[in-house]
A and B are shown apart, each in its own frame.
Chain A
Amino acid sequence: QSALTQPPSASGSPGQSVTISCTGTSSDVGSYNYVSWYQQHPGKAPKVMIYDVSKRPSGVPDRFSGSKSGNTASLTVSGLQAEDEADYYCSSYADSNNFGVFGGGTKLTVL
């Protein structure tokens, strides 16, 4: 049960766009459209931002978008704002355990 692979860090200036990648295998990301993304601020519980690759839960700004190509999913944050600075985790359904697996997380810094 290997974790999905994310870059440890990403950054952008206010107003810019940043994309975070999440690479899995044909046993998880590549075979299922059940990729989700979570935002976690320090000391807080995670919050789902994207599910089913590209769907946004109610209340999540449309600045957040998701996509997938092959074994790699991506989260794009457009029009970066200071409050977007947080850790972001991807997750996917996984054949290996018939449930889920997380990525290692990406720390997003708003410069």
Chain B
Amino acid sequence: EVQLLESGGGLVQPGGSLRLSCAASGFTFSSYAMSWVRQAPGKGLEWVSAISGGGGNTYYADSVKGRFTISRDNSKSTLYLQMNTLTAEDTALYYCARATRFCSGGTCYYQYFEYWGQGTLVTVSS
């Protein structure tokens, strides 16, 4: 059974930092791209960042580029999101999701997120 368990959320002051983790189990972690998707309270889903299975390719939404860093440790089947210079607009429930992609000719295309964790809440407030 595929399981994704996020942790690391909490209350942080504006300008602060936080590192989220997502422990994966039930599948060959290194074979899949992984992603972070967030949802602000009462709002819709927003794709945040993604990383290829081997970790060599990373992708970011404009809203977090330069502030957030995605990484993974395949030996620990764990995904991370380092979040710096946090603002109130980053307050959200952060989901970890496993991405299915189609790759051809050196290009990979995100198809869908088949598995999601239950999320970890990040609150940025003074």
Interface residues of A (CB under 8 A from B): 1, 3, 32, 34, 36, 38, 40, 45-48, 51-52, 57, 87, 89, 91, 93, 97-105
Distance from B64 Cβ to chain A, minimum over Cβ atoms (Å) = 11
Contact: A99 with B50, CB < 8 Å? Answer: yes
Chain B window 82-124, contacts with chain A (Cβ cutoff 8 Å), 1 for yes, 0 for no: 0000000000000100011010000001111110111100000
Contact: A102 with B111, CB < 8 Å? Answer: no
Whether A97 touches B109, Cβ cut-off 8 Å, given contacts A45-B117, A105-B44, is: no
Which stretch of B18-26, B55-63, B72-80 is in the interface? Answer: B55-63
Contact: A102 with B116, CB < 8 Å? Answer: no
How long is the Cα–Cα vector from A80 to B31 in the complex, in angstroms?
Answer: 37
Main SS class of interface, A: strand
Interface residues of B (CB under 8 A from A): 35, 37, 44-47, 50, 59-63, 95, 99-100, 102, 109-114, 116-119
How long is the Cα–Cα vector from A110 to B44 in the complex, in angstroms?
Answer: 20
